[in-house]
Structure 1
Amino acid sequence: MRNRPETPLAMPPASPRWNVDHAPQFRLRTLLVLLGLVLSVVAGRLVHLQTRIPEQFTEVWDRTYESFEPIPSRDGRILTADGQILAFDEPRFDVSVHYRWLEDPPDERWLKQTVRSRLPRHQRRDPEHIRQMTETVLAQRQQMWSELAYVTGLSDDEFDRRRRLIQRRVERILEHVRQRRAATAESESVETEPESQRPWWEAGWDSVVEELTTPPRRDLESPLIIREQLDYHRIAEHVPVEVVSVIESHPSRFPEVRIERATERLYPGNDLAAHLIGRRQPVTAEEIEARRERFPEGDPLDYEVGDRIGRSGIERAYDRHLRGLRGMRRLTRNRQGETIDTETVREPTDGQDVILTIDSGLQQQAEQILDRVIVPAGQAPEASGADAEAPPPVGGCIVALDVSTGEILAAATAPRHDAGALGRGDLESWTAALNDPRRPFFPRLTQMAVAPGSVFKTLTAIAMIESGIDPEAPLHCRGYLDQPDRNRCLIYRRYGVGHGDVTLSDALCQSCNVYFFDSARRMGPEAIAMWSRRFGLGEATQHDLPNESGGNVPSPDEAARSGKTWYPGSTLQLAIGQATLTTTPLQVARMMAAIANDGYLVTPRFVRDVSATPADQPAGGDVQLASYESTRTTLRERIPGLSPGTLARVREGMRMVVEHHRGTGRNIALDDVAIAGKTGTAEAGGGLPDHAWFAGYVPADRPRVAFVVVLEHGGSGSRAAGPLARELVQALLDRGFIQGGR
């Protein structure tokens, strides 16, 4: 019995309650019930997910995203006093298309999502409906290409060429990002601590924590998408407004085609008053950062990188008025980056118009007067064929202003840059202007500080009378002051004779150096310097253009402060507008206006009004200015200390300059109007030709307009600048700024 075959499972259980063979059917039923309960819970949950709360899981696919894009505004216009537009913003329309609608072959994921989004839910699993919708989307895309090329005026080949260029550029960016991403992943895979140096329980614990807390890497499963694949890309530029209306009125024919609006700054006058207008150029990132620091609560002009900011002239001085403020548009996009809704949340605000004081016709005539006499571009003065006494000037300036208000009627400079070409970004024009030795960008009106020469004798005459020297007392001029080889008159250098007995009027008329040498010696340099500053020389005129040169009025006190020696000869040279004395054409014009208006120093101004742009007036073309009202008052002040009759004696001498048979400016006399003025020939030094000046006012008996003509290295004031002044006065007559008659 002990040797019979038995197994442990067949042996009697140690406990009477445990028996593996007891009630097997009951155990199977129990297992089946438990399994059914688990499956019922899973099935119930699936039904609940599909019928009750599917939106909680599909929400991420239907989620939309909001972004904002700017709506461009127009900067204000710059106009002349007679309504001629010198600068304005022209709307510019570009056509952009979403990258996925340009890509060929199309992205599979994008195509699948686009097809599914167009199908009802019950058809999204039907292969036949999916196939038909796929063909529809691809056919629509091909049709859009053809129609877009047609309406934009592009051939099919040119459209395909541009589309392929965009795609190649995006693919290069994508490949570059992919390579950098792979390189970054390799660098991150390097362990900071070798496993051999760590205890096995720490490495094991870290592995458990990493598996439980770190999401799985999906680098290889999820495709790489860059921003350029979700952006719109420009396919056509500067399209007419008719094209814009066609595209925007037929969105179904042009899916994911967008019109980008911008503005271009145009200067229809090209080089007309280019130095006054100035230029606008894109603002830099550094300037944006500086403005953010300056305005921590927000830039009031809302500048961003790429916006235009005034760099010079009126564009810079009145930038805060001209600057338009952009609007804002809210864009709603789906998960694929496609725009499904737009809303304007802030309307753009256009900039204000700036109305200048200059007259376009007078300005153009003044510029033409200068252009005829200066050295042509690319030609040196020596190659012009002119003799040494009358060299062609390398540059010049003409300015005319109202003696009562200080309004600038014309301010011409030569040479000038072409604001129209430079505004269009013409590289050839930029290069030519930058390499031009005549310096066409140099604002000679406000920064050409040179010696005024004998024009300054009018100021010396004022200082002499106010110092108590009798203007009627004659002085015998023998052609030189003390010695025949120094301090001489021009007539003595040329003919070896003097002017004889001269009074103040005669000295101004004939530009007698000896008379003013003697007067300066008697009154001293302090009086000349003091009256120079009272008449606005040696300091900025406070006009409304940026970057003005103040010039220099030398004096013994200034020389002592700078450690220099003031010699007796310095006083004599100062009296005739030489030494280290420098003035700008605008300062001299202001001085002439003060002489003409009996002692009131006016502030020159180039802008008459700053007004909002009328809604019914176009961006370009001529406009009517009747609705504009002046918002500025005339700035003028009485020059202190002037005695009655002082300026009358100076004006008498200036009139004789033109009307007397011995006057240095007799060649500019006109029969229709009396001219008062003063010639000036200022030594430039360094072996360079003299600067030629003529300054005065008209009419001589009832002054209305003060003017200055200066030619840089132009030679004699009477022979070079005088005839140009005569043409300017004739233009003033023709344009009605002054009345004829004597």
Structure 2
Amino acid sequence: MRTKRYYALGIGIVFGISVLIWRLSSIQLLNTENYSKHHINLIEESVAQRTQELVLNNGRGQFLDSTGKPLSYEDKNVLVLFPFLKNTTWKVDEVARILNISQAELEGSIHSATKPFIYGGKHPIELNSTQVNSINDLKIPGLFAVKKSFASKENLAEDLIGFTSKNKKVYKELYPDRKDIDIPPIGATGLQKTFDEFLLPDGEAKLIYHVDGEGKPLFGNQVKYIEPANPYYPVNIRTTIHSSLQKGMEEVLRKDNVQKGGAVLLDIETGDVLAMASMPDRNPSDPYKNHGSVNYMLTQETPGSVFKTVVAAAAIEKGLVTSEETFPCDLDLYGKPAKRNLGTLNFEESFSQSCNRTFGGLANRVMDNDQGAIESFAEKLGLIGDIGWHGDIYHLSDFHQLAMDNGRIFISESNKKDHNFVAQTGIGQKDVSVTPLGVANMMATIARGGEKKMAKVVSAIEYQNGTNMIDFPSKQAEGEVISPFTAMKLQQLLRKVVTGNKGTGKSFQTLPVQVSGKSGTAQTGNGDSYNKWFAGYFPYDKPKYSLVVVNLGVKENEGGINPIFSDLVQMIYDQSSKGVLEALSNEKKM
């Protein structure tokens, strides 16, 4: 009996030791990067336990404006202090004198420190080059004057650039071959997401200090500076954004209290996006709150009468309307007395005063002639479809700079056969849904005489030394185009909207530059809620800019769009007249 007990005890001891060995091997050898149901990375945690560090740059590529200046970040010279300084004798008085602060203030800042920190905290003292050199010449262990990257205070074009977040699962799915110990943030929205593969860091630039379990130095007071070894990386993304125009646009939209919507400005010659702003502003602590992460310039919305431009193009090119023909604009789409009694108008007057009866009828006339015509002309004008820059680059085929909606005209084929449905389509209602960038692209196409170009927001991916890794040239858009004659007639119609005594854009006659364009007020189908648009280009005689402004989900008697468009044109004119834009253009060429 006793022998059996010894035997059982022996088996139990061997089993227990085996379990312990298996557990130890699991911790030290087998599951070091994914331990337990909590998926703990033991290597990361071990390193974190015995090091103190301060990251100077996370190693992720950054965004530049059209001249190569930082758009999403700014570098500052700051003072970094390590906590072991409070236990050593160092030249406190000399450092305080260089910083022009009291010795007590400097000593007090480090008294309760347990981790390395930047002097000044959230509002760091920015050092000039003389201070940097003077402090570093003292060669004080644990005290460094260094350059650190900070998120830009202005945070320009935040919705276009987007933001990053840490998501280990998504990271592993996207980049299964990467073996990072510490999972870096990845692009969640905007250009951060579309260019994520290029922006990923090879490592951080940081100051690092080794400690024991009690936080005491392991190797003396030695602080190491670590940075990625490749001098060409990380790459930066040079955008087409003009910082001064972007800043001015955002200021105007806030001043004019745009709660949801925004504006987009294109260079007509190149198709470059010079400025793009979407409201509301993003909440840094909760970017998805109140749809702050959405770039409304790239989402499709109901355009209202702006879409009459497409119907006009189709009717002109197909010879289905003449300038002499008149229309009963005292009636609405269905032949009943109109809310706005405009009387009898010809084609040009109907466009400038935005007569629904005319364009509802013309839409049916066009569709009776060719059921694919309205969609076809929306594509010919560059309003819908794949309008952003795309093509083969590096090892990526059909790379798209922008993640955006393509827009649509009809959801189903049956809707094309319903005359009432087609009439509402003709005035930009029902299924019609387009992006503000698409509308700006349409205006640019008309201003060029019918030539279509891809809308571009990034001009190059650059190495750290400023040379180009990948260049994004301006590109013609694929597909059919409108005739030069149709483009000329559309130019005249858009100009009459402003010059006509009863045109919906007559308020722009007082602007210091000649504007052409089209207004739009669309019912959203959500009670007393409207999308208000104005889209145009200027100067009329020598077109340079295409501008679209939209105020989404506002009440019928609120959120007027013309004053906002006017303020933006004035801002652009002021910058141009002061030489700001010319200086930027020259700087871009250097």
- What TM-score, normalized by structure 2, do the two folds share? 0.71
Shift of 1:405: 1.0
Q: Structure 1's 507 and 599: CA in aligned 2 closer, same or farther, altered over 3 A?
A: same
Question: Which of 497, 510, 515 is equivalent to 2:353?
Answer: 510
Shift of 1:95: 5.2
Shift of 1:590: 0.7
Shift of 1:599: 1.4
Match of 2:36 in 1: none
- Is this contact kept in 2: 1:694–1:717, CA < 8 A? no
- Is this contact kept in 1: 2:329–2:356, CA < 8 A? no
Match of 1:547 in 2: 403
Match of 1:446 in 2: 298
Cα-Cα RMSD = 4.3
Any idea what SS the aligned residue of 2:298 has? helix
Q: Structure 1's 594 and 335: CA in aligned 2 closer, same or farther, altered over 3 A?
A: closer
One-letter code of the match for 1:552?
R
Q: Distance in 2 between matches of 1:693 and 1:343?
A: 53
Q: Structure 1's 602 and 477: CA in aligned 2 closer, same or farther, altered over 3 A?
A: same
Q: How does 1:25-40 map to 2 (within 5 A)?
A: none
CA offsets 1:444-476 (integer angstroms, 9 cap, x no match):
1112x2111111001011111233313324133
Q: Structure 1's 599 and 482: CA in aligned 2 closer, same or farther, altered over 3 A?
A: closer
Match of 2:7 in 1: none
Is 1:414 paired with 2:247?
no
Q: How does 1:66-105 map to 2 (within 5 A)?
A: 74-82=59-67, 84-88=69-73, 90=75
Match of 1:578 in 2: 429
Q: Which has the higher helix share?
A: 1
Is 1:472 paired with 2:323?
yes
Shift of 1:482: 7.4
Any idea what SS the aligned residue of 1:645 has? helix
Q: Structure 1's 670 and 718: CA in aligned 2 closer, same or farther, altered over 3 A?
A: farther
Match of 2:10 in 1: none
Q: How does 1:143-154 map to 2 (within 5 A)?
A: 144-145=87-88, 147=90
Q: Structure 1's 344 and 264: CA in aligned 2 closer, same or farther, altered over 3 A?
A: closer
Q: Distance in 1 between matches of 2:406 and 2:250?
A: 24
CA offsets 1:239-283 (integer angstroms, 9 cap, x no match):
8887999799768xx6xx69899955411313x3221232233x3
Shift of 1:159: 5.7
Is 1:677 paired with 2:517?
yes
Q: Distance in 2 between matches of 1:535 and 1:717?
A: 31
CA offsets 1:279-307 (integer angstroms, 9 cap, x no match):
233x33324433452x2xxx3xx755353
Q: Structure 1's 717 and 538: CA in aligned 2 closer, same or farther, altered over 3 A?
A: farther
- Is this contact kept in 1: 2:532–2:561, CA < 8 A? yes
Q: Distance in 2 between matches of 1:291 and 1:277?
A: 20
Q: Structure 1's 316 and 540: CA in aligned 2 closer, same or farther, altered over 3 A?
A: same
Match of 1:286 in 2: 169
- Is this contact kept in 1: 2:330–2:343, CA < 8 A? yes
Match of 1:273 in 2: 157
- Is this contact kept in 1: 2:256–2:564, CA < 8 A? no
Question: Which of 385, 399, 409 is equivalent to 2:264?
Answer: 399
- Is this contact kept in 2: 1:694–1:709, CA < 8 A? yes
Is 1:706 paired with 2:546?
yes
Q: Structure 1's 73 and 644: CA in aligned 2 closer, same or farther, altered over 3 A?
A: closer
One-letter code of the match for 1:268?
K
- Is this contact kept in 2: 1:693–1:717, CA < 8 A? no
Q: Structure 1's 237 and 369: CA in aligned 2 closer, same or farther, altered over 3 A?
A: closer
Q: Distance in 2 between matches of 1:680 and 1:463?
A: 19
Match of 2:440 in 1: 589
CA offsets 1:26-79 (integer angstroms, 9 cap, x no match):
xxxxxxxxxxxxxxxxxxxxxxxxxxxxxxxxxxxxxxxxx9999966444423
Provide structure 1 residue ranges, at least 5 long, that are not aligned to the other structure: 1-66, 103-141, 164-233, 375-392, 423-429, 616-626
One-letter code of the match for 1:309?
I
Match of 1:612 in 2: 463
Is 1:528 paired with 2:374?
yes
- Is this contact kept in 2: 1:520–1:575, CA < 8 A? yes
Match of 2:497 in 1: 657
CA offsets 1:126-184 (integer angstroms, 9 cap, x no match):
xxxxxxxxxxxxxxxx9834659997988878866556xxxxxxxxxxxxxxxxxxxxx
Q: Structure 1's 473 and 555: CA in aligned 2 closer, same or farther, altered over 3 A?
A: farther
Q: Distance in 2 between matches of 1:679 and 1:586?
A: 15
Is 1:519 paired with 2:371?
no
Any idea what SS the aligned residue of 1:677 has? strand
Q: Distance in 1 between matches of 2:366 and 2:107?
A: 85
Shift of 1:710: 0.8
Q: Distance in 2 between matches of 1:158 and 1:580?
A: 62
Match of 2:252 in 1: 369
Q: How does 1:711-730 map to 2 (within 5 A)?
A: 711-714=551-554, 720-730=560-570
CA offsets 1:296-350 (integer angstroms, 9 cap, x no match):
xxx3xx7553533333233333334444433899x99999994489898962544
Match of 1:315 in 2: 192
Q: Structure 1's 550 and 476: CA in aligned 2 closer, same or farther, altered over 3 A?
A: closer
Q: Structure 1's 682 and 314: CA in aligned 2 closer, same or farther, altered over 3 A?
A: same
Q: Structure 1's 262 and 515: CA in aligned 2 closer, same or farther, altered over 3 A?
A: same
- Is this contact kept in 2: 1:77–1:87, CA < 8 A? yes
Shift of 1:588: 0.6
Match of 2:394 in 1: none
Match of 2:588 in 1: none
- Is this contact kept in 2: 1:463–1:531, CA < 8 A? yes
Q: Structure 1's 572 and 712: CA in aligned 2 closer, same or farther, altered over 3 A?
A: same
Any idea what SS the aligned residue of 1:579 has? coil
Q: Structure 1's 327 and 723: CA in aligned 2 closer, same or farther, altered over 3 A?
A: closer
Shift of 1:702: 2.4
Shift of 1:577: 0.6
Structure with the greater alpha carbon radius of gyration: 1
Q: Distance in 2 between matches of 1:160 and 1:79?
A: 39
CA offsets 1:387-444 (integer angstroms, 9 cap, x no match):
xxxxxx53221111012211112212222126xxx3xxxxxxx25x655x4x333211
Match of 1:500 in 2: 344
Provide structure 2 residue ranges, at least 5 long, that are not aligned to the other structure: 1-49, 97-103, 390-399, 580-590
Q: Distance in 1 between matches of 2:483 and 2:227?
A: 65
Any idea what SS the aligned residue of 2:497 has? helix
Q: Distance in 2 between matches of 1:520 and 1:89?
A: 52
- Is this contact kept in 1: 2:360–2:425, CA < 8 A? no
Shift of 1:654: 0.9
CA offsets 1:82-131 (integer angstroms, 9 cap, x no match):
5553223647876557xxxx8xxxxxxxxxxxxxxxxxxxxxxxxxxxxx
Shift of 1:737: 8.6
- What TM-score, normalized by structure 1, do the two folds share? 0.57
Q: Distance in 1 between matches of 2:479 and 2:169?
A: 45
Q: Distance in 2 between matches of 1:629 and 1:334?
A: 41
Match of 1:603 in 2: 454
